[in-house]
Amino acid sequence: MLRRYYKVVKMSQIDKTEKKGLIVIGGGITGLTSAVTWARFHDTKKDPVLIIEKEPKTGGFVTSYTREGYLFDTSQIIPNCNDMFELLGIEIDLKRFKGYYTRVFLVNPETEEVTKIELPSGVDVFKKKLMKEYPENAKEIEKFLDHSRAMFLELFKLKTEPSFIELLKTIVSCPKIVKHGSKTFKNYFDQFGITNPEVVEIFDAFAAFSGLPGDRAAALMTLGAMNSVLDNAYRPTKGFIELTKQFEKRFKELGGEILLKTKVEKILVENGEVKGVQLEGGEKIYSDFVITTIDPKVAMKEMVGLDKIRELDEKFAEKVDQVKMSPSSFNIALGLDDEIDLAGLGMDCGYNVVTTGGESFSKLFEEYEKGNMAFTEKQFHMGVICPSLTTGGKQNITIRVVPVGLGDWVKLRENNLEEYNKKKEELSNFFIDLVEKYLIPDLKKHILVKDISTPATYARYSGSPTGSIYGMAPFSDNFGRTRLKMRTPIKGLFQPLFSHGIFGCMLGALQVNDMILERKILGGNARLKPDK
């Protein structure tokens, strides 16, 4: 009761007539990081920063939720973000996955035989293990991993918005990125001559982390994800909601303000400059800086208006039109009884991929792009995560299926709830059967609670009409230099939304603040230096 009273008083204290130093649209991890970074590098009494969030709580996709006493987590793992946490003063208790952090269960669809591949943490351990287990490809594996590591480390030498001279220097300092940066992962990978299908499968799994198959995902995206989780993979010990809580706590300590249950309807622009935002209901809040962290297509098309952008920068407007958002997902969170021994089944790791491998993910993606869902008993790809072995509490697992399109999910939920629930039930049973067959024997006997999220769920929570779960799709033509720029043509308006994941979201948020503060945070670098 006391807590609720405190919150109401706090919210009513927000002075909406005061001009803000910065307004952040959306209180997900990108919005929280953007706002905390501003607060950390400004005097918030002079330059107040306000987050406006449409939901009753912050966090967006980075959250946990309780159903009948089970704590379900939305996300599964993050790479090493510790330098960013340290810079911002975020204290979070994380579990580091030692031993293996991911397992791949490769199912032969004809014989139904399963090959289990464990991926250990640590670049060198990983390399040695692969070279030992696949001696016929040892040299190629070593060459690929060394080359990709060197290319990954070049990322630390890139500037976010390089000057002409800096761009020229990149040719010398980042030769691998210059040569291979615009390739798809497959194009890049194929040149190393790795032939063993299991090894190919392992590396393709990293591309699939971004929701795209290796023949479509940007090489740099896949290498970045691979090398950063190889360094270390973590999960918050109290669930992902703790990450959000710690960001919110830090933000308030630094004097930041949060307006919940408030939807931004328009971004105010005059003479090519941002002036603030208009809320649903018409109220306006003014600021010379706005960071939007919602679906960039919605922000630019519906909140600003593409014509206004086109007048300033035709190319940017065109890019907004072309950008494709990442796929959505179908998630089944299962509360289990105490009888099942999840640790004994090796589930205490970051992620389990259960896949028919080969071309499966590419074919599923191809069909997804046509609006179909082509999962069958002989062609599937999914993730299985066990948060409860990290967070403690009642045992649970989540089955995560990607790529899934919006299809008729929203229409069904709005117009025919019975049909919507039936479809959810049937589809969830299909995936549960597969997990029972290939990963967790007798799973169904142990299920006590089932909570399903569909693309309609993700569309509703994020406000992204496609229900995309990984922001913009990191195709090779929308990554690095070719991605939709963070600095929009409208002076003072920034959109850091990155292609994928919590790490990328946080980094994008730091980068836009670095732009606003004219390189005072990162020195214009695309990454925090490893020694910081």
Ligand X SMILES: Cc1cc2nc3c(=O)[nH]c(=O)nc-3n(C[C@H](O)[C@H](O)[C@H](O)COP(=O)(O)OP(=O)(O)OC[C@H]3O[C@@H](n4cnc5c(N)ncnc54)[C@H](O)[C@@H]3O)c2cc1C
Footprint (CB under 6 A) of ligand X, residues 299-338:
329, 331
d(CA 354, CA 40): 42
Q: Give the binding range for ligand X (CB under 6 A) out of 165-173, 215-223, 387-395, 461-469.
A: 461-469
- Applying CB under 6 A, the site for ligand X has a residue count of 38
31 scored as a contact of ligand X (CB under 6 A) = yes
Measured CA distances, 395 to 85, 162, 448, 449 (Å): 29, 49, 10, 11
Q: Quick one: which of 526, 530, 12 has its CA closest to 220?
A: 526
Q: Read off the tokens for 189.
A: 């990978």
Q: Read off the tokens for 381.
A: 């790809």
Q: Read off the tokens for 340.
A: 């099942």
469 scored as a contact of ligand X (CB under 6 A) = yes
CB burial of 417-433 (b: ≥16 within 10 Å; e: otherwise) equals eeebeebbeebbebbbe
Measured CA distances, 36 to 68, 163, 514 (Å): 33, 28, 13
Q: Give the binding range for ligand X (CB under 6 A) out of 48-56, 153-161, 184-192, 283-291.
A: 48-56
Cβ 483 to ligand X shortest distance, Å: 14
> How many helices (H) and strands (E) would you count in the chain?
20, 19
Cβ 220 to ligand X shortest distance, Å: 16
Cβ 461 to ligand X shortest distance, Å: 6
454 scored as a contact of ligand X (CB under 6 A) = no
Contact pattern from residue 473 through residue 502 relative to ligand X, giving x for each residue in contact according to CB under 6 A and a dash for the rest: ------------------------x--xxx
**SS3 assignment, position 403:** strand
Cβ 498 to ligand X shortest distance, Å: 7
Measured CA distances, 372 to 48, 341, 406, 408, 475 (Å): 47, 36, 10, 11, 20
Contact pattern from residue 348 through residue 387 relative to ligand X, giving x for each residue in contact according to CB under 6 A and a dash for the rest: ----------------------------------------
d(CA 87, CA 517): 16
Report the 10 Å Cβ neighbour count for 198. Answer: 15
Q: Read off the tokens for 493.
A: 């308006």
258 scored as a contact of ligand X (CB under 6 A) = no
Cβ 464 to ligand X shortest distance, Å: 7
Among 22, 24, 25, 384, binds ligand X (CB under 6 A): 25
Between helix 197-208 and helix 360-369 the angle, nearest 10°, is: 40
Footprint (CB under 6 A) of ligand X, residues 58-117:
60-62, 74-78
226 scored as a contact of ligand X (CB under 6 A) = no
457 scored as a contact of ligand X (CB under 6 A) = no
263 scored as a contact of ligand X (CB under 6 A) = yes
Q: Which residues bind ligand X (CB under 6 A)?
A: 25-31, 52-55, 60-62, 74-78, 263-264, 293-294, 329, 331, 458, 461-463, 469-471, 497, 500-503, 505
